[in-house]
Amino acid sequence: MSVRPEQSVPVGLGNQLAPAPFSMEGTNTLAMRGDPQSRNLCFSMESVLKQFCSNQEVSIWSPTESTCNSIFKNTQFDSLSGSTKMVGDTKAAIVHDIILTESQNTSSFPVGLNITNVDEQFYSRTGKSFARILLPNSTNTSPIVLQENNVDVAYAFNEQFPGYTAENVSTKGVHPVNDRRFYLVDTVSALYSPSIVPPPIPPLPHPQTHTHRIHFCQGHPIMVAIKENEGKLQVDANDFTNVQDGLCKVGSQLMDHLMPQVKDQIASQVRVRNLGKLSVKATPSNFESWTAVRASMLNTEKLRLNTMSAHDTRAAQGDAEKLEAIKTKYESLSVAAEAKIDNTPISISGTLKFTYNVMLGPRTFTALSLSLSLPFPRPSSHLLSHLLFCSSWMELQLPERTSYLLSDNF
């Protein structure tokens, strides 16, 4: 299986994939590559050093999945009455870039940031990798590009196989029939394009109630892989029969052999990101942990106090009273220094700008529901055109169902 985007970048499990049967310009399956969205997320981790040492959650900024969905999803009309809902698959977003527009670190030591969906290309003296290392006592207001992705392959793949990712390709539209040792693969998905004018609907076979279902044909990636590799697999793609409603029968042995390769190819070459789960974790870049930072700071302070204590001890010239006073003084200073270190305020903050697109998927609401008396005449092309522009699915809910598949010559 392979994909050919606009710049002709090959992706190969076989020969190049045939062009999509129709233009995707203006569709709502995926926001178009020339019109990405952007979101600015502000993160902040503030506490004292003792809390950073004892409570790991203090050093992690992580909004809930529902919060991420409300941030990154789109608002879409879901009925003709004007009501809206949040739509979009944040688990398979195409991320153009992630930019750290500003950042601040008030601590006296460098802090490394591990950010979800950002490759870790900054290294510290310990060998640990980070998405970004903030210098001690620093404030930066110059934008820094943390992640920049080549999105052409991802867009081309999603235009031809909308809704499919490496995580769901083995389950989306794949129905195992275990007792018969085969799978039923759904090779039809519903898309909507306002630039497409539907062809005439064929007449009803007999004058009784029916359901008209309008959709556009798209292949499942596994079926394309079978077609392109039928010689190596020693199969004939024409033997895979369409059982009903776009379902094709594929043997278990062939599916189990080919599916892992398809998943690996999609995962390695079609890079999508999960924006439903985000986190920013702060870690001292030159130390193994926050506890190690505290121990280092405490040792440094005690070394300073011990040096001062030794100087005062020599000046006392063996006077027992002075020596006892010096010992009491520096024990008190040591306790105070430890308390000061434990209560050192630390603030790590910044703003991340995401430029991305999420897959919206086909609209699934019912455009029209009618109860009609017999006989039921065929709807006019004018009516069907209007219904198609209102919704990607047009269903007239009536007892018996008849499906019509639109042809590819738009």
Q: How far lies 103's CA from each of 121, 124, 328, in Å?
A: 18, 18, 43
Asked whether residue 260 carries a pLDDT value surpassing 70, the answer given is yes
- Say if residue 208's pLDDT is above 50: no
Instruction: Look up the pTM and report it.
Output: 0.66
Beta bridge partners of 111: 134, 284
Dist. CA 16–CA 258, nearest whole Å = 17
CA nearest to 350, candidates 151, 148, 118, 94? 118
In degrees and rounded to multiples of 5, residue 206 shows phi and psi of: -155, 155
Residue 12 reports pLDDT greater than 70: no
Q: Give tens-digit pLDDT for 338-348.
A: 999 999 999 99
Span 164-182, mean pLDDT?
A: 86
Laid out side by side, the sheet with 400-405 consists of 188-189, 210-217, 400-405
Residues 301-314 have pLDDT tens digits of: 999 999 999 999 99
Q: What pLDDT does residue 251 have?
A: 87
Instruction: Give CA–CA dist 363/368, Å, rounded.
Output: 13
Reading the block at residue 156, the tokens are: 């081309």
Residue 92 has pLDDT above 60, yes or no: yes
pLDDT at 350: 96
- β-partners of residue 132 are 113
The CB density around residue 199, as the number of other CB atoms within 10 Å, is: 13
Pairing state between β 210-217 and 400-405:
parallel
pLDDT range class, residue 75, cuts 50, 70, 90:
confident
Between 81 and 340, whose confidence is greater? 340
Among 173-187, 209-223, 286-300, 368-382, top mean pLDDT goes to 286-300
- DSSP letter string, 299-336: HHHHHHHHHHHHHHHHHHTT-HHHHHHHHHHHHHHHHH
Q: What is the torsion angle, in degrees rounded to the nearest 10, for the CA atoms of residue 48, residue 52, residue 55 and residue 60?
A: 110
Q: Would strands 111-115 and 280-284 be described as parallel, antiparallel, or unpaired?
A: antiparallel
The answer to whether 400 touches 208, Cβ cutoff 8 Å, is yes
Q: How confident is the model at residue 21 (pLDDT cuts 50, 70, 90)?
A: very low
Q: Which two tokens stand for residue 197?
A: 């004018």
Has residue 99 got a pLDDT over 70? yes
Report how far residue 252's alpha carbon sits from residue 180's, in angstroms, rounded to the nearest whole number.
9
SS3 track for 147-216: EECCCHHHHHHHHHCCCCCCCCCCCCCEEEEHHHCEEEEECEECCCCCCCCCCCCCCCCCCCCEEEEEEE
pLDDT of 188 higher than 70: no
Residue 347, pLDDT score: 96
Report the pLDDT averaged over residues 201-212.
41
Judge whether residue 171 has pLDDT over 70.
yes
- How does residue 376 score in pLDDT terms, banded at 50, 70 and 90? very low
First and final CA of the chain: distance in angstroms?
A: 25
Residue 189 near residue 174, CB atoms below 8 Å: no
Max Cα-Cα span within the chain:
118
pLDDT at position 27 over 50: no
Q: Which residues contact 335 (CB under 8 A, 6 or more apart)?
A: none
Residues 125-148 have pLDDT tens digits of 999 999 999 999 999 999 999 999
Instruction: Give the residue-averaged pLDDT of 89-93.
Output: 84
CB contact set of 110 (below 8 Å; sequence gap of 6+) = 124, 133, 134, 135, 136, 284, 285, 286
Side-chain-side CA neighbours of residue 204 (13 Å):
18
Q: What is the reported pLDDT for 279? A: 95
- State residue 243's pLDDT score: 64
Long-range Cβ contact pairs of 44-47 (< 8 A, separation 24 or more) = 44/347, 44/348, 44/349, 45/280, 45/282, 45/346, 45/347, 45/348, 45/349, 46/345, 46/346, 46/347, 46/348, 46/349, 47/345, 47/346
Instruction: Retrieve residue 283's tokens.
Output: 């870690």
